[in-house]
Copies of this chain bind each other. A is one copy, B any other.
Amino acid sequence: MAAVHERIAARTLTPGSRLPSIREFAQCLGVSKSTVVEAYERLRADGVIQSRPGAGYYVSAPLAPLSLSRTEPCRDRDIDPLWITRQSLDAAHDTLKPGCGWMPPSWMPEASLRRALRKVARSTGNALADYAPAQGLAPLRELLSHRLANISINTAAADILLTESGTQAIDLMCRCLLENGDTVLVDDPCYFNFHALLKAHGAHVISVPYTATGPDISLFENALKTHRPRLYITNSGVHNPTGATLSTDTALRVVKLAEQYDLRIVEDDIFTDFEQSPAVRLAALDGLQRVCLIGSFSKTISASIRCGFIAAPASWVEELLDLKIATSFGSGNLAAHITLAILKDGAYRKHVESLRQRLSDQRIRVAQRLATMNILPWLTPQAGLYLWCQLPNGIDAAAVARKALADHVVLAPGNAFSLSHDFSDFMRFNVTQTHDETVYQVLEAAMSDTPQNEKAQ
């Protein structure tokens, strides 16, 4: 293989030219014919050479430019809602990512993942090569229906739709419910990708401050009265980025107001396995009338296997299904089989239980360390990955994040989560990505290098 690569590099072999026959090349190099056959086959699998039946092997022509792919994201773009995601996804291997939204692989259930992959590799049905049914693998939807019953959501497998991811599920719901220019309500702060997604939909976005127990309910009512939004998108279970837990009282009022003002709700519920005891869900109180619940497993099982779902009001299912087929055809059958195998694996359950404890310990540890720098959490979350923290003296978090990035640390500045931009001195920390002392050193340096301001409003 090296000999061929050398000749191509040296232009002894140019694109389109014929390679030596297997016998000639074996003699020339003093190796066996089978060695050459294997090398040629590998080069062919790599696309470097091609064979023409009965005519031998040729250098593939013309060769694509051998540029490396972009290994680092563009650094000079504005800190918009996509900034943190792009930096986190494309970070170099040695980058620390306390601003990233997910756990490092070492916190994930790798043993269960390997077992599930081997199980599917042995399977004889249609898991390996065929499409799933249009709604997605039936036994997984049955299992999800049982899991949802545990958070008091009663839905049949027939009203659950599997998707490629939680994000795709929200996107499908938006396509189903929104027309260009419709008004959508979000929390302030909220998961930043809601902003990116709603921008793609051309929606008019408004926000209501989020409190420790849910949206500020009187401002929520005002917003419904004044702007008549078509849709409210929110996190339940564990709120992103605040770590707040919706109270039953607030949830009841949200559901009642939604009915009064003909509001639909997408409840993004991707942290359910992190909860010690399940919080109230809007979809449970509403009985899946005007609330749909979105789930996925990218935060608890694997972000590599794409699998999400929608538990939707029954009357929405047919339209969602048509839209899903039109825009992404089938959902991942392999991903669904692997997810099902893991959810049924007792070891995964044990992993989740120890994970909750580990997260709880780590939240305390990180909060204590941040407190030594006067970085204080807005509240103490009951579950999850995140600490939503305020920097001291009104320091501009975006400026700190830019500086830290130069030192290979990805941070999540507050205003990326906020429509009002009232969170310039806030940051979200992912406690599973904040174990390294370097994070604190870089943060300290970046903060001391940033002018202090009285907090604007």
Q: How many angstroms from the CA of A148 to the CA of B145 in the assembled complex? A: 44
* Cβ-defined partner of A344 (8 Å) among B46, B131, B193: B46
Q: How many angstroms from the CA of A155 to the CA of B65 in the assembled complex? A: 7
Chain B residue contacts of A135, Cβ below 8 A: 69-70
Closest to A167 in B: B329
Q: How many angstroms from the CA of A79 to the CA of B120 in the assembled complex? A: 35
Q: How many angstroms from the CA of A65 to the CA of B142 in the assembled complex? A: 10
Q: Could you say which of A258-266, A297-305, A384-392, A446-454 contacts chain B? A: A297-305
| A142-159 residues at the B interface, CB under 8 angstroms | 142-143, 145-150, 152, 154-158
Contact A85:B332 (CB < 8 A) given known A62-B154, A120-B117, A142-B69:
no
Q: Is the CB of A64 within 8 A of B149?
A: yes
* Cβ-defined partner of A157 (8 Å) among B50, B67, B150, B197: B67
Interface string of A37-63 (1 = CB under 8 A from B): 010011011111010000000001111
Q: Is the CB of A327 within 8 A of B129?
A: no
Q: Does A217 contact B (CB under 8 A)?
A: no
Q: Is the CB of A147 within 8 A of B47?
A: yes
For residue A65, give the distance in angstroms from its CB to the closest CB of chain B.
5
Closest to A305 in B: B334
Q: Is the CB of A146 within 8 A of B46?
A: yes
Q: Is the CB of B327 within 8 A of A149?
A: no
Most B C-beta atoms less than 10 A away, residue of A108, A145, A344? A145
Q: Does A361 contact B (CB under 8 A)?
A: no
Closest to A169 in B: B328
Q: Does A281 contact B (CB under 8 A)?
A: no
Q: Is the CB of A326 within 8 A of B149?
A: no
Q: Is the CB of A328 within 8 A of B128?
A: no
Q: Does A68 contact B (CB under 8 A)?
A: yes
Q: Count identical subunits in the complex.
A: 2
Chain B residue contacts of A333, Cβ below 8 A: 303-304
Interface size class of A (residues with CB under 8 A): 35 or more
Q: Does A5 contact B (CB under 8 A)?
A: no
* Cβ-defined partner of A60 (8 Å) among B48, B63, B146, B325: B146
Report which A residues bind B (CB closer than 8 A): 38, 41-42, 44-48, 50, 60-65, 67-71, 73-74, 82, 85-86, 89-90, 102, 104-105, 108-110, 113-114, 117-118, 120-122, 126-135, 138, 141-143, 145-150, 152, 154-158, 164-168, 171, 175, 180, 193, 196-197, 199-200, 298, 301-306, 318, 321-323, 325-335, 337-338, 343-346, 348-349
- CB-defined A-B contacts under 8 Å, sample of 25: A38-B346, A44-B346, A45-B344, A45-B346, A45-B348, A62-B154, A63-B146, A67-B158, A69-B133, A85-B134, A113-B129, A114-B121, A129-B301, A130-B303, A131-B304, A164-B306, A165-B330, A166-B329, A167-B327, A168-B327, A168-B328, A196-B326, A200-B323, A298-B329, A302-B334
